Amino acid sequence: MSRFPLLRRLALPAAILAMAAAPVLAQTPMDDPLDARDARRVERMEKVVRELRDIVFKAQKTGAPVVVQPADTDARMLELSSRIADLEQTLRRINGSMETTAHELDLTKRENARLKEQLAGLTEKLAAAEQRVATLEKPPEPPPPPIEDAKPRTASEAFTEARGLMQAGDNAGAGAAFEAYLEQFPDGPRQAEARYWLGKTQTARRQHAQAASSYLASIRNWPQASWAPDAVVELARALIALKKPEDACQTLAELPKRYPKAPAAVNTRAKAAATQAKCAA
């Protein structure tokens, strides 16, 4: 018995197909071409014959069982082409969706930036409005008490009266009393100290420009008095409130030079002011 019974079965149809095709080709006149449909059929038959021949030769060489696959290459190519077309369409749809999403994200970012700017502007307006309301709600300062001129007062009495008003918490009255003292006794022995205390009342009333002028006048000649170091610090603080940190730093730099024995409390306040003004170490 032959080792390749399947080969004999496959070779026989191949031979029959070959013999069947030969008379057809021989009987067809050379000058009468086949129509397109017959030509395709012949091509398919020749393709099947070639595939069968290859299968037979492969089986003869290897002795492996022969598995005949359907020769439907065109249909598979069409199926693959259809799948590729579907994938390409899906990719185009995904790309379009990603572009749309990216565009919408860009629009959202721009809108967020615009809203942030509007919010910042509204916050500034609200702060300004709150400040105006607070100013309007602040009760007016009481008028300074009238200064009695019924009997002449000495410089010491006028100074003591002004200090008493200040200690009682009446900064407006004390300020008016110190101004009256300075006007009435321009050559008094406590002119510099009176300007220092006048600056204190002005600081309490947030009159920083007037306070700076008063402190500067009080230490113009760098008096060696107990209140003088504090006047230097108060001048620096008034300059900081007036947005003049460089001038404040220069003023604080003079404190250890002019008053090396200043009290510890004054030096502590001076360091705090230097930190606030961001003075160089």
Instruction: Give the pLDDT of the chain (281 residues) as one tens digit per residue.
Output: 444 444 444 444 444 444 444 444 444 454 445 567 777 777 877 887 787 777 777 766 776 665 555 555 666 677 777 878 888 888 888 888 888 888 888 888 888 788 787 777 777 777 777 777 666 655 666 666 655 554 568 999 999 999 999 999 999 999 999 999 999 999 888 999 999 999 999 999 999 999 999 999 999 989 999 999 999 999 999 999 999 999 999 999 999 999 999 999 999 999 999 999 999 86
Length of the chain: 281
What is the pLDDT at residue 192? 95
Q: Are 238 and 212 in contact (CB under 8 A)?
A: yes
Cβ atoms of 47 and 71 within 8 Å: the answer is yes
pLDDT at 271: 96
The CA-atom distances, in angstroms, between 265 and each of 25, 229, 230, 272 are 125, 10, 9, 11
Residue 1 CA to residue 8 CA, distance in Å, equals 11
pLDDT of amino acid 53: 77
Residue 144 confidence (pLDDT):
63
Q: Which of 221, 273, 223 is nearest to 252 (CA)?
A: 273
| 30 secondary structure, DSSP code | T
Give φ, ψ of 277 to 5 degrees. Answer: -85, -5
Query: String of b and e for 29-68 (b: at least 16 CB within 10 Å)?
Result: eeeeeeeeeeeeeeeeeeeebeebeebbeebeeeeeeeee
The C-alpha atoms of residue 33 and residue 73 are separated, in whole angstroms, by: 26
Measure the CA angle with vertex 57, ends 52 and 63; round to 5°.
115
